[in-house]
């Protein structure tokens, strides 16, 4: 399972009851927590609550629509994303922090 860093507190609340129900730790899905993407205010970018409602009109459409992302960046966009996240995974100081929309704009040169 891949979750945003905001779900780290839930891991214990989910894993402990499963253990009480008899599930062994090796039977549970591996959970990977990723950095949170923040909006201009430093709050978590909420795709479900705000993107659909137009609150983030300043966010490049390429960051909201996969179709637009592929149209704009193509396969190279996926390579950029993979290379960026590899850097995060290779260094704890990069993995255990949040990233802003502005940071991503710089990565993709938008």
pTM beyond cutoff 0.85: no
How high is the pLDDT of residue 106? Answer: 95
Q: What is the pLDDT of residues 54-84, one digit of tens each?
A: 777 888 889 888 999 999 999 999 999 999 9
Would you list the domain boundaries of the chain? 1-34, 36-110
Are 16 and 48 a contacting pair, CB within 8 Å? no
Q: How many CB atoms lie within 10 A of CB 87?
A: 12
CA distance 25 to 100: 34
Average pLDDT over all residues of the chain: 86
How high is the pLDDT of residue 58? Answer: 83
């Amino acid at each position: 399972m891949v979750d945003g860093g905001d779900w780290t507190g839930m891991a214990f609340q989910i894993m402990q009851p499963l253990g009480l129900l008899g599930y062994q730790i090796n039977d549970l899905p591996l959970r990977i927590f990723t950095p949170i993407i923040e909006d201009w205010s430093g709050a978590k970018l909420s795709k479900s609550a705000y993107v659909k409602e137009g609150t983030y009109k300043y966010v490049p459409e390429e960051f909201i629509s996969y179709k637009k992302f592929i149209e704009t960046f193509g396969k190279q966009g996926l390579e950029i994303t993979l290379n960026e996240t590899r850097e995060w995974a290779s260094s704890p100081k990069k993995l255990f922090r949040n990233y802003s929309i502005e940071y991503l704009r710089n990565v993709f040169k938008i």
